[in-house]
Amino acid sequence: MQRATARLNLSSPTEDRHEVAAVWRLWLPLAFAVAVLVLHHAAPDWTWRRLFAEGWGAIELAHFVIPLAASLIALRTLLRLPAGTAPALKVWLGLLALGCFYIAGEEHSWGQHFFGWETPEGWAEVNRQDETNLHNTTSWLNHKPRVLLNLAVLVGSVLVPIALARGWASGAIGRLRFVLPGASCHVLGWLVLFYMAWDAGRKAGHLPYISPRDAEMHELYLYSYLLVYAITLRNRVGRWRRMN
């Protein structure tokens, strides 16, 4: 690995290493996907009630806990950046922290799914699911951000590794190497894209359900991807500090 430059920025040298143990980034995500598939067919009622039910189902809770953890890790990393860090990297980590916090809040309607308060009448008129959140008021706060995240996963964990392996666009990629997803993100990235494609095929009537709510599985792996990505950036900043 080359010695890091004196000023931490988006293009600072970094190793593409596994930042998370294989049990968390590989075996557990794969095993959980298989387990949900089996349970969906063997015990559908239990799977729905315990895993997918709104509010207190395990996967619904994970949709809150995982992005919240990612937000806190990104925020802590931002606050521990060394003096002289490039503003672009500060902005990047700030957006990651804010974005993950927004996801966590929106997933449980800022506490409504936990505490069960009534949606104010005026808000219910503009929210298509009668909830106190923003993403059900307009596609600009729901579908379009989700499309951007899916595109980021596709680029970061599929197209960039292919380009690097073939020696394409190495200069352009190098300008962002410090903030590109690492090897730990790639399996989760493929799972994100798999469930995204499967859910689209199911909605089109071409594929069966492989879980009670395939879109929720897609979100679970998308948020897990963000968590592992936040851990990756935290560890990279920690290594840079130790080297300098």
pLDDT at position 244: 81
Give the range among 29-38, 88-97, 118-127 with minimum mean pLDDT. Answer: 118-127
Reported as a single tens digit per residue, the pLDDT across 151-184 is: 999 999 999 999 998 989 888 899 999 999 999 9
- Domain assignments of the chain as residue spans, ordered by start: 45-243
Reported as a single tens digit per residue, the pLDDT across 48-63 is: 999 998 778 899 899 9
Reported as a single tens digit per residue, the pLDDT across 11-56 is: 999 987 888 999 999 999 999 999 999 999 999 999 999 999 877 8
3-state secondary structure of 206: coil
pTM (2 d.p.): 0.91
3-state secondary structure of 142: coil
pLDDT at position 1: 42
Q: Do the beta carbons of residue 214 and residue 199 sit within 8 Å?
A: yes
DSSP 56: T
Give the integer Cα–Cα distance in Å for 186 and 157: 5
Give the integer Cα–Cα distance in Å for 144 and 82: 34
Q: What separation, in Å, do the N-terminal and C-terminal C-alpha atoms of the chain show?
A: 14
Unique residue bearing structure tokens 């596609």: 139
